[in-house]
Structure 1
Amino acid sequence: MEMEIISREIIKPSSPTPPHLKNFPLSFIDHITFRNYVPLLFFYDDTKVCDQTSKISHLKNSLSQILSIYYPFAGRFKDQVSIECNDQGVSFLVANIGTKLSTILQNPNQNLLNPLFPDELQWKTANWSESILAIQINCFACGRIVISVCACHKIIDASTAFNFVNDWAEINREKQKSKSILSILPYNALYAGGTIFPRATFPIFPEVEFVKHEAIVCKRFVFEASKIKLLKGMMVNSHSNPVKNPTRVEVVTALIYKCAVSALGLNFKTTSLRMAVDLRRRMVPPLLDKSVGNLVWFLFVINPELHDVVCKIREGLCEFCEIYPKKFGGKEKDLSFILECLKQVTTNSNAENQSLIIYASWCRFPMYEADFGWGKPIWVTTSACPARNAIVLMDTRDGDGIEALVNMEQNDMVIFQRHVELCQYASLNPSIIANDSN
């Protein structure tokens, strides 16, 4: 795929960060989170004839505006526990792609997706002095645009990243109508993890290590709504252990777990799931959805039996919600409990556990709401993750299906992708349907 970087610049906030906000403290969760860049791709199938130069000019202007609200993203890490909000800005690249978007949409493999990210930053570790956010605007010969975002995980979790892109899109869309930024996003305070979960007097723990493997391959499996409905029916009507009202995520997770354990040659009794749980709506009272930072913690579903995966997830999540949100914040905040949690996570982070499946669901995040004025994206995805046995679930565009990105060592993936039940319910890397063939 022919590609040329035609411009590279730093976009700074439209207004300087006030002196009293120059130091941005990280939360006790942020300070142990790794600094790897989380990659996102937003594909737009705008069929209207439009000047790409004008689009890019609007994008730069609106990005500058939104950075005055998300001001820490334009700063630099001062150390492991704070950001210096010095308005140094974020990386902004523009690339010309000498082909049509359909080349990628017909066969969306990693070799075609990887060049769309800025400076190949996907999942790389950010240096302390590097840009917290990097963006690349990919302009295709057919006139379409793909926006890629690499966001440093130390301050930006998946929810934060999608909210940021949506707010950027809203400013870009409404600024074209000459509306004021304050009328578009009428808030001037950043609801940050450091305020919600202050690090207080805790010692500085080592960052959780992001263990990379060179031999990892990523495959995309799409579960259509009709197939998910069949999976739900199978669980509801199970004679051994029927499940009441299973969710999309539960049934897809259970199937992938079953197929993964088989492919990896593991035992159901000794294989665990590690799930990232968003704390925002589980806190008492619930946090604002747009709270910034890593507002997640980990649920370990220990050794679930084959037919008990959904029940174990539900039981574990129920217990999790009864304990962690209360002890992490609010009236029942327990500093000794938090300290022990930090010790456990950072102590065990470097240990390789081949009997652990790492799982995160981005379903129900507003990933398909980012309308920059050209319509909503036709596809949102991420890149291959070089972590062993890591699974990310994302919504399909219609909101009813699920796309699962599964990362495994190559030999394991060969067995996994051929599993009979997986093939019965999921399609391997189907084409993305656009408005036309351009």
Structure 2
Amino acid sequence: MAIGLKMSHKIVDGTTCGSFISCWAKTALDDGDNDQVPSVIPKFDAASYFPPLDFSNSSQLSSAKLVGISKHKYITKRFVFDASKIATLQSYLASPSPAHAPTRVLAVLALIWKCAMEASSKSSNIALGSRPSSLRLTMDLRRRFEPPLPQNLAGNVVSNLIVIATASLIKGQEESDDETIDLKDLVAKLRKGFEQQKETYSTKQPFDSNKAWQRVQEYRKLRRNVDMDHLSCASWCRFAFYEADFGWGKPAWVSIPSIPLKDVVILIDKRDGKGIEALLTVSEEIMEHFESNPELLKYASVNPRVM
């Protein structure tokens, strides 16, 4: 038996979706003891924390359209990273000691971004690093506020971490004409982006919605004016989807269907909570390069059987 859920991103984010599913499952199993259910019921009072913007101006409405919807043909495939493979990748990226190993999400994300840059270079027949590449990671803000906001606060309580890689990350080989991207450098750049995010993005109340909207507009202007590759990412790891028991036991598999957004990767836990499934949506041509990338295939399986 499968349960499907369709929600509008205008009113929910991944955390809200997780809270709704947890509440739904606990309610379905309610045996008369309602002590636990109220703690996970979604709270729809996000406007008290994030003052709504006035979009009555038509120019603002036109600029608020979703970026990424495309009529071109794109394809979604699963790249599954087992826990042991992720551990191997983390060990390789640990520098200068195991204590500095990147998180599993950071390690997987850096590898996928590296492969995306290489695929774009090959499909466009241009030199690797000849144009910049941006990565936008959607981050949950609830735990980042002081004090933290409730995890069952419904809405889009997120911010975007934007990191741009330029030719400075491209390393030429002394004895070869080939060029490569240093994966460890890419991890370091992502880490630096996380640190800068903590310093520059307000996580104190009251929240300045106008300033947040201005940041979004600046990034969209950059994408319009600069020729660059782009990859959007959202991590749904550590959400309690596999704990949702509606009465038939915990799920055997949780996933997200393909979406009509180009150049997007969504990360979600495997059932063991240690492995990661990466759902990648790119053009068919780009996907061919991903599926044949030896470095990626060293750590991930392409569309393996679910059961």
Q: Output the TM-score relative to the length of structure 2.
A: 0.82
Give the conservation status (yes or no) of the 8 Å contact 1:208–1:349: no
Q: Distance in 2 between matches of 1:351 and 1:386?
A: 24
Task: Quote the offset at 1:344 in angstroms.
Answer: 3.1
Aligned match of 1:228:
86
**CA distances 1:19-68 after superposition (whole Å, capped 9, x unpaired):** xxxxxxxxxxxxxxxxxxxxxxxxxxxxxxxxxxxxxxxxxxxxxxxxxx
Classify 1:336/1:237 alpha carbon distance in 2 versus 1 (closer, same or farther; 3 Å).
Answer: closer
Task: Quote the offset at 1:371 in angstroms.
Answer: 0.7
Q: Distance in 1 between matches of 2:279 and 2:14?
A: 15
Give the conservation status (yes or no) of the 8 Å contact 2:53–2:210: no
Classify 1:192/1:346 alpha carbon distance in 2 versus 1 (closer, same or farther; 3 Å).
Answer: farther
Q: Which amino acid aligns with 1:281?
A: R
Aligned match of 2:218:
344
Classify 1:202/1:243 alpha carbon distance in 2 versus 1 (closer, same or farther; 3 Å).
Answer: farther
Task: Quote the offset at 1:412 in angstroms.
Answer: 1.3
Give the conservation status (yes or no) of the 8 Å contact 2:42–2:153: no
Counting only pairs closer than 5 Å after superposition, residues 88-103 of structure 1 correspond to structure 2 as none
Counting only pairs closer than 5 Å after superposition, residues 255-404 of structure 1 correspond to structure 2 as 255-265=111-121, 267-268=128-129, 270-303=132-165, 305=169, 306-307=181-182, 308-326=185-203, 329-330=204-205, 333-334=207-208, 337-344=211-218, 355-404=229-278
Q: Which amino acid aligns with 1:319?
A: Q
Give the conservation status (yes or no) of the 8 Å contact 1:391–1:404: yes
**CA distances 1:92-118 after superposition (whole Å, capped 9, x unpaired):** xxxxxxxxxxxxxxxxxxxxxxxxxxx
Q: Distance in 1 between matches of 2:228 and 2:99?
A: 29
Please identify runs of 4+ aligned residues in structure 1 that moved more than 6 A: 348-353
More strand by share: 1
**What secondary structure, in the 3-state scheme, does the structure 2 residue paired with 1:380 have?**
coil
Q: Name the stretch that deviates more: 315-324 or 218-227.
A: 315-324
* Count of residue pairs the alignment pairs up: 281
Task: Quote the offset at 1:220 in angstroms.
Answer: 0.4
Question: RCO greater where, 1 or 2, for CA within 8 Å and sep 6 or more?
Answer: 2
Aligned match of 1:209:
66
1:195 equivalent to 2:48? Answer yes
**What secondary structure, in the 3-state scheme, does the structure 2 residue paired with 1:276 have?**
strand
**What secondary structure, in the 3-state scheme, does the structure 1 residue paired with 2:239 have?**
coil
Q: Distance in 2 between matches of 1:271 and 1:405?
A: 20
Task: Quote the offset at 1:381 in angstroms.
Answer: 0.3
**What secondary structure, in the 3-state scheme, does the structure 2 residue paired with 1:356 have?**
strand
Q: Distance in 1 between matches of 2:226 and 2:5?
A: 29
**What secondary structure, in the 3-state scheme, does the structure 2 residue paired with 1:407 have?**
strand
**What secondary structure, in the 3-state scheme, does the structure 2 residue paired with 1:406 have?**
strand
Q: Which amino acid aligns with 1:164?
A: F
Task: Quote the offset at 1:370 in angstroms.
Answer: 0.9
Classify 1:164/1:380 alpha carbon distance in 2 versus 1 (closer, same or farther; 3 Å).
Answer: same
- Out of 86, 99, 104, the position equivalent to 1:248 is 104
Task: Quote the offset at 1:368 in angstroms.
Answer: 1.0
Q: Output the TM-score relative to the length of structure 1.
A: 0.59
Which segments of 5 or more consecutive residues in structure 1 lack a partner in the other structure?
A: 1-144, 434-438
1:421 equivalent to 2:274? Answer no
Give the conservation status (yes or no) of the 8 Å contact 2:91–2:101: no
Task: Quote the offset at 1:296 in angstroms.
Answer: 0.7
Q: Which amino acid aligns with 1:229?
A: A
**CA distances 1:297-342 after superposition (whole Å, capped 9, x unpaired):** 111101162332211111111211222233xx515x5466345235
Give the conservation status (yes or no) of the 8 Å contact 2:20–2:42: no
Give the conservation status (yes or no) of the 8 Å contact 2:19–2:42: no
Q: Distance in 2 between matches of 1:322 and 1:234?
A: 29
Q: Distance in 1 between matches of 2:120 and 2:243?
A: 37
- Name the % identity: 35
**CA distances 1:338-366 after superposition (whole Å, capped 9, x unpaired):** 45235436667888966111111111111
Give the conservation status (yes or no) of the 8 Å contact 1:208–1:346: no
More helix by share: 2
Q: Which amino acid aligns with 1:197?
A: F
Task: Quote the offset at 1:397 in angstroms.
Answer: 0.3
Which segments of 5 or more consecutive residues in structure 2 lack a partner in the other structure?
A: 170-180
Q: Which amino acid aligns with 1:148?
A: G
